[in-house]
Structure 1
Amino acid sequence: MKTTVHLSFDLDALSSWITSFKQTSPTPISRGEFGARVGVPRVLDLLHRLQVPATFFVPGHTALTFPEAVRAIAAEGHEIAAHSFLHASPVGMSREQELNDFIAAEEALKQVAKVKPIGYRSPAWDLSVNTLSILAERGYLYDSSLMADDYRLYRPRINDEVQSDGRVVFGPNSSLVEFPVAWELDDFVYFQFMGKPPLNGLRSAEEVGAIWWAEFDYCAKHVEGGTFTLTMHPEVIGRGPRIVMLERLIQRMKAIPGVQFSRMSETAERYNQSMPMA
């Protein structure tokens, strides 16, 4: 039984504070800066020492604001995937607005890191009715924003319709590969202190490490060919004790026979080869 682990990092930096939280005074901006200034070097050092690949979801704004941090990620051979331009949710955008956001994000990543992303994760894990079709049209291979499974990849549907009486009409499967996400496997909700529920943060690294290990352990023991995807943010996981916890977690995973670490693009390509569209 082989389990594939995907370590993914959302390098939001300043963008989430500017757009999602609408906090632009010096202190919140400095919290975002910590991700590029301190978090990224610590994460890259850890990944290098343990010789494991990762996927970084990078907003275009982050690439333009902290180009050296993004180039360092690329130089280490990690995947750089798309995460909007300024961490703005696509919900409520017109199709044209969302398309322009994709174009701006892609151009920034190309300019800074010389990459064309083939993976996408939506800010706040929410999609518009157009997102998946835009991804397919622009040649993306996979998305990582939905929650219809936990440890198995699947093809996300497009054009689902929720009717006025509440009935749901399912649309056809898209060509994309979906890497399901979960709040239980995201560092932000455990650690990031925002001063009000639900983001009270400040859980201990040991407690979160135990939760993540329990999730991985179930996947490895009970899901044939399962995929385990962690979502982390350098500004959050980059604190010293949390990096230590992550290192211990990775070492425990590596000690399990049949466990492999992969960039998400590589796993998506293998999925397409083994499970081609009908």
Structure 2
Amino acid sequence: MTTVCLTFDFDAVALWVSSFKQTTATPVSRGVFGAEVGVPRVLDLLSRHAIPATFFVPAHSAVSFPAALAAIRDAGHEIALHGYCHETPVGLSREEEASLLDRSIDKLCGAVGRDFHPAGYRSPAWDLSSSSIELLEERGLIYDSSMMARDFHPYLARKGHHADEDGFEPGTPSSVVEIPVAWELDDFPYFAFLNRPMYSGLRAPAEVLEIWQGEFDFCHSLAGVFTLTLHPQIIGRGPRIAMLDALIRHMRASDGVRFSTVADEARRQRLPLLGSG
């Protein structure tokens, strides 16, 4: 059985405020588009296909766009942790990172309500400190989705790694399931246009569809977990939503494919992984 996890990083304005240090009207308006146009288009597509998804939500987005957050929640999709204001944990002390994580959880839980507690986390920077996994484990989170040590097979995230010019120590396995990500399966490098070499963007949707179909077909040959990372302010453009619709149809036409939230897939993987460790 192949599992497809459609994930949406609802970065909204937090991406521009924190990651790109831009608070003027035009960059901020791109985040507003994600909340007010992109999210409704994504939710409509998911509803038409009757499939679940996971939304990674910074606390900043949760309190800034409560209507979009409520629409995601009320549609039954998973809401997961994505930092306080789309910041990197790298460079923080263990105490600083723990405090930031706790404030992020408290603010997100307060915005979602209904006795909510996140099951998982994705680093806004797709990067983690040597303390991050242990901090997630201590707070009862069951999965992370920020790393790349496998392509289509979850694994137990390691804690306490050490890397320098003299060698690499991977650390010890945790109880946190890693649902791996990949730049090849992220819409931002393909479509986002910024004055930075990594984000030249503006690729044709048909070209990206071909890439993603090829990645899915290989994953399906392995009966793996296909995790796609999307952003409402990027994928929410009309032709790109149509491309995502075509990709979903391609995947649904294949036998032995299920669509799942990341939390549900992490729960399926967790006991076998812990047992094998």
Aligned CA RMSD, in angstroms, stands at 1.0
SS of the residue corresponding to residue 13 of structure 1 reads: coil
Alpha-carbon distance in structure 2 between the residues aligned to 1:96 and 1:65: 27
SS of the residue corresponding to residue 102 of structure 2 reads: helix
For 2:258, which of 254, 257, 260 is the aligned residue?
260
Alpha-carbon distance in structure 2 between the residues aligned to 1:161 and 1:49: 46
SS of the residue corresponding to residue 162 of structure 1 reads: strand
Which residue is equivalent to 2:217? 217
Alpha-carbon distance in structure 1 between the residues aligned to 2:29 and 2:125: 21
Q: Are residue 199 (structure 1) and residue 199 (structure 2) matched?
A: yes
Deviation (angstroms), 1:168: 1.3
Q: Are residue 32 (structure 1) and residue 38 (structure 2) matched?
A: no
Determine if contact 2:6/2:54 at 8 Å carries over to the other structure.
Answer: yes
Alpha-carbon distance in structure 2 between the residues aligned to 1:238 and 1:256: 25
Alpha-carbon distance in structure 2 between the residues aligned to 1:149 and 1:23: 34
Deviation (angstroms), 1:124: 1.8
Which residue is equivalent to 2:171? 171
Alpha-carbon distance in structure 2 between the residues aligned to 1:157 and 1:99: 18
How do residues 15-94 of structure 1 correspond to structure 2 at under 5 angstroms? Answer: 15-94=14-93
Deviation (angstroms), 1:77: 0.5
Alpha-carbon distance in structure 2 between the residues aligned to 1:173 and 1:213: 32
Alpha-carbon distance in structure 1 between the residues aligned to 2:263 and 2:141: 10
Alpha-carbon distance in structure 2 between the residues aligned to 1:97 and 1:246: 38
Deviation (angstroms), 1:103: 1.4
SS of the residue corresponding to residue 151 of structure 1 reads: coil
Determine if contact 2:54/2:78 at 8 Å carries over to the other structure.
Answer: yes
Deviation (angstroms), 1:60: 0.3
The sequence identity of aligned pairs, in percent, is: 51
CA deviations over 1:8-36 (Å, ceiling 9, x no partner): 00000011100100011100000111110
Q: Are residue 150 (structure 1) and residue 148 (structure 2) matched?
A: no
Alpha-carbon distance in structure 2 between the residues aligned to 1:245 and 1:263: 21
How do residues 69-148 of structure 1 correspond to structure 2 at under 5 angstroms? Answer: 69-114=68-113, 115-148=116-149
Deviation (angstroms), 1:83: 0.3
SS of the residue corresponding to residue 123 of structure 1 reads: coil
For 1:270, which of 268, 274, 277 is the aligned residue?
268
Alpha-carbon distance in structure 2 between the residues aligned to 1:45 and 1:104: 31
Moved over 2 A (4+): 273-278
Larger mean Cα displacement after TM superposition, 152-161 or 131-140: 152-161
CA deviations over 1:71-102 (Å, ceiling 9, x no partner): 11010010000000001100011112211211
Which residue is equivalent to 1:238? 236
Determine if contact 2:155/2:273 at 8 Å carries over to the other structure.
Answer: no
Deviation (angstroms), 1:108: 1.9
Alpha-carbon distance in structure 2 between the residues aligned to 1:189 and 1:131: 25
Alpha-carbon distance in structure 2 between the residues aligned to 1:10 and 1:50: 20
Unmatched runs of 5 consecutive residues or more in structure 1? none
SS of the residue corresponding to residue 69 of structure 2 reads: helix
Which residue is equivalent to 1:160? 161
SS of the residue corresponding to residue 4 of structure 1 reads: strand
Q: Are residue 12 (structure 1) and residue 5 (structure 2) matched?
A: no
TM-score (norm 2): 0.97
Deviation (angstroms), 1:198: 1.7
Unmatched runs of 5 consecutive residues or more in structure 2? none
Alpha-carbon distance in structure 1 between the residues aligned to 2:231 and 2:108: 18
For residue 173 of structure 2, what is the amino acid of its counterpart?
N
TM-score (norm 1): 0.96
SS of the residue corresponding to residue 198 of structure 1 reads: helix
SS of the residue corresponding to residue 39 of structure 1 reads: helix
CA deviations over 1:131-154 (Å, ceiling 9, x no partner): 000000000000000010000000
